[in-house]
Chain A
Amino acid sequence: MSGVAVPVAVPHPRPAALRWLRRYGLAALGGAIILAWVLAAALAPWILSYGPNTVDVANRLKPPSAMHWLGTDALGRDVLARVVYGARISLAVGMAVVLVGGLFGTLLGAVAAYARGWAEEALMRVTDLVFCFPPIILAMAIAAALGIGTVNTVIAMLVVWWPKFARLARSLVLTQRSLEYVEAAQSVGFGPAHILVRQIIPNAVGPLIVLVTLDLGQAILVFAGLSFLGLGVVPPTAEWGAMVAEGRELVQQWWVATFPGLAILSVVMGFNFVGDGIRDWLDPHARTR
């Protein structure tokens, strides 16, 4: 945090670089964190000396050492290897949920807002309905009905995920369509589809990108939570939430639960930093100040 606080002490004629750093430093840091995780996940087999599922019960619950940098878990597996491989699942699930849910929700919301009338009304009531579900019950019911597994958990998450995009997209489209250039396009004689795709969506994309970025972190968090409750991945797949659950009882062997938790924290923070950065950048007030 000192890196954030230091610039305050600097006398007022601030160099441009420093100002940029103050405004976008965290976003850059977030981007770097995510890039690092993506690289680590992609290169995992080449940068690690252990596999994520190599069981060695004779060396179980060993504290961090030169051999195992982050120690070993209850089955003697290398925690570092599992944390790094865990990034693959978390990033993939985050992407899948947000992209699929976001695309579906956005399209539905945009179309509904454009069509108005009963379609819009119906959509809004459905989103209301989804919002008033206890998410845990829904996720558990779906896991129990379909069986525990990554894909089924993603399905459960998608069910509750799309409505917020639908709502955002709807309100964006509603705002946009009352704007002058849309009216202008209508008067020139462009069809509704053309206006929606060529005029409205590109202009509404900024807020959506912010939501998507922030949501990636959120999706990773929720997935880890479901995994923690035993509804996520099937063992022996390395996944952060499940790893924290495995280490929950091991207060003395703190490394088992601590490191996967830090991994979640760092990734989610990374996405939040980036999302905030984009928002600041898009926000006209923030730019003019």
Chain B
Amino acid sequence: MADQDEPGFGRRPLMAGAAGMLTSLLAGARPADAQSSARRGALVIGLDISDALSLDPVRVYQYSNPLPTRAAYDGLVTYDAGDNITVKPALATEWSYLPDGKTIRFKLRPGVKFASGATVTAEDVRFSFARHLAIKDQPFQYISHVESVAVVDATTVDLVLKDPTLPVISIIATPAFGIQEKSQVVANGGTDAADAKDKDKATEWLNNNSAGAGPYRLTGWQRNQQIQMVRNPHYWRGAPGYERVLIRHMSESAAQLLAIQRGDIDVAFNLIPEQIATLENDPNISIMGTPSLDFIYMAVAEAPSNPALQNKLARQAIGHAIDFDGIIKNLAGGAAVRPTSFLPVGTNGSTEALTKEIGFNEDLPKARRLLAEAGLPNGFKFQLAYGNAAIAGVTYQNLAQKIQADLARVGIVAELAPMDQVNLRTMFLGGKAEAVLTFWNPPAPENWLWTSATVNRVARRVVWDVPADMHKLVADAGAERDLAKAAVLYREYQKRMVDFAHHIVLVQPVYQVAVRKSVGGLNLTAAGWMADLAAAKPA
């Protein structure tokens, strides 16, 4: 962690007067030159990393840790920024299903080196996946339909599926499936043996070091303070633009705002719409928007405790009584879109136009009509639970109060129930909640990951007895390898979901990231890891 460059600290002139002492102490400690961080060859990122539990790829599934994980580990395949539908080659140059229909054969890119200088081999790939299969942490769940991984030769590897109808290529683009250097992981206590769940001890080391072939190498993580990375000189796409990358933990968006204004950080990820507005005229800062694949939705359960909610028409009435445009335009500062149902805009078969056509739209007379048809002309009551959090500056609390006010217009009374995360999840996952405001972010941009969740585990949360034809629709769409044909099936899926009215999607944020103009080439992505740091370089 040695810092060779001369730190570019300057001194501010002392201020006279009573506050002089205080001021000089304060001012002396501040970098006078906004460019100092760039001069030192470091890219400094402000990000709330309090959620990160681990930087060991097999345990990376929270919100913030995929960013450093992607920077440290390249996977077999990836998504280019801006395209979340077509998978692109990375460490694998090509892949195809073998005639048996359940084996996928990957050809590795020749001559790629890990940050250590060692060559990436098929055995490293096998080890990386086998470690997932043995340790079985959350990321494993996404590929639990993988049967085994086998080395064919030094640059060829096979992935064998238990259920070949389920998609897998799009899923392994996720940072958690980055390729680890076997010798380093093993040397630090790692194993892919069957008992790895208890025997693997590499996580502690991998939390502070990385063993990947990504553009940067992890050199330290002080929890709730910062993550440090240094350039990987062997990176196969060419040497990365910065000597170092620092991810500073900044939980307060106000702190990120002031830090980027003053040049203490180069990139601010967690700004709220009001703060973005104040940066729009700043000559040193550009605002980059990237439509995410995340969304906030209201889950409405057929709760045993609430007969009204068991009525589909009553649930639909909720969906037509919400002022969606007001939420997006005002609460989200216009930086959001709204999908039809549980497939975010930007995935195959989901567009904003479709939402206008077949989704929930504010229509009070229709909501009243639905209530009357449901036999509830005077409305009904339900409990709306939510946690203490904000997504892209939209707090659940404000959203809940807005919805409460909207629904009151047609006589529906939403009783708000703020909760801590533990109680909320216990209630919701146990199918005990009437309605919940919550959030969905995908591990990978694969439609099937959303759709299968809605008819399986998420269905239980909303006490929904999913009809067989709905299960079949989801399975058929997931198995369809022709994107255009799949899109037709997904349109039908969304239409059915709107009709069932268990999930009312409210806000799909367009994440607004403030980037100082001294930084170039930073590509934001919605595919799950926020940004590709590989191409970032001083502008």
Contact = CB atoms under 8 A, between A and B. Distances in A.
Interface stretch (B271-279, B283-291, B314-322, B512-520): B271-279
Contact of A246 (B253, B254, B397, B402): B397
A249 B278 contact: no
B274 A75 contact: no
B377 interface: no
B455 interface: no
B405 A53 contact: yes
Interface in A193-244: 230, 234-236
B436 to A, nearest CB: 15
Nearest to A76: B330
Contacts of A53: 401, 405
Contacts of A81: none
A57 B331 contact: yes
Interface residue range, chain A: 20 to 34
Contact of B416 (A55, A75, A234, A251): A234
Nearest to B403: A55
19 contacts: A55-B401, A55-B402, A57-B323, A74-B331, A74-B398, A75-B402, A144-B423, A147-B419, A230-B418, A234-B418, A235-B401, A235-B418, A246-B398, A249-B252, A249-B253, A249-B275, A251-B254, A252-B275, A252-B278
A57 B330 contact: yes
B254 A249 contact: yes
Contacts of B405: 53, 55, 75, 236
Interface in A34-86: 53, 55, 57-58, 60-61, 74-76
B274 A250 contact: yes
Contacts of B416: 234-236
A36 B64 CA distance: 49
A148 B422 contact: no
B401 A60 contact: no
A58 B400 contact: no
Contact of B274 (A235, A248, A253): A253
A234 B252 contact: no
A166 to B, nearest CB: 31
Contacts of A58: 326, 330
A148 B398 contact: no
Nearest to B394: A74
B327 interface: yes
Contact of A61 (B274, B397, B418): B274
B397 A235 contact: yes
A236 B401 contact: yes
Contact of B330 (A60, A236, A252): A60
Contacts of A143: 420
Interface in B202-243: none
Nearest to B406: A55
A144 B326 contact: no
Contact of A144 (B402, B404, B420): B420
Given A230-B388, A252-B278, A235 B400 contact: yes
Given A250-B274, A253-B274, A57 B418 contact: no
B376 interface: no
- At the interface, is chain B mostly helix, strand, loop or mixed? helix
Nearest to B405: A55
B257 interface: yes
A58 B329 CA distance: 9
Interface string B321-361: 00100110111000000000000000000000000000000
A146 to B, nearest CB: 11
Contacts of A230: 388, 418
Given A75-B402, A249-B272, A148 B419 contact: yes
Nearest to A144: B420
A75 B329 CA distance: 12
B417 interface: yes
Contacts of B253: 249
Contacts of A252: 274-275, 278
A75 B397 CA distance: 10
B252 A236 contact: no
B275 A57 contact: no
A61 B275 CA distance: 12
A57 B274 contact: no
A251 B257 CA distance: 10
Nearest to B386: A235
Given A58-B330, A144-B420, A230-B418, 15 more contacts: A55-B402, A57-B327, A57-B331, A60-B330, A74-B331, A74-B398, A75-B398, A75-B401, A143-B420, A144-B422, A148-B419, A234-B418, A235-B418, A246-B397, A249-B272
A249 B251 CA distance: 11
Contacts of A55: 401-402, 405
A236 B257 contact: no
A149 to B, nearest CB: 9
Given A60-B330, A249-B253, A251-B257, A148 B418 contact: yes
B349 to A, nearest CB: 31
B254 to A, nearest CB: 5
A249 B252 CA distance: 7
Interface string A240-279: 0000001011111100000000000000000000000000
Contacts of B323: 57
Nearest to B331: A57
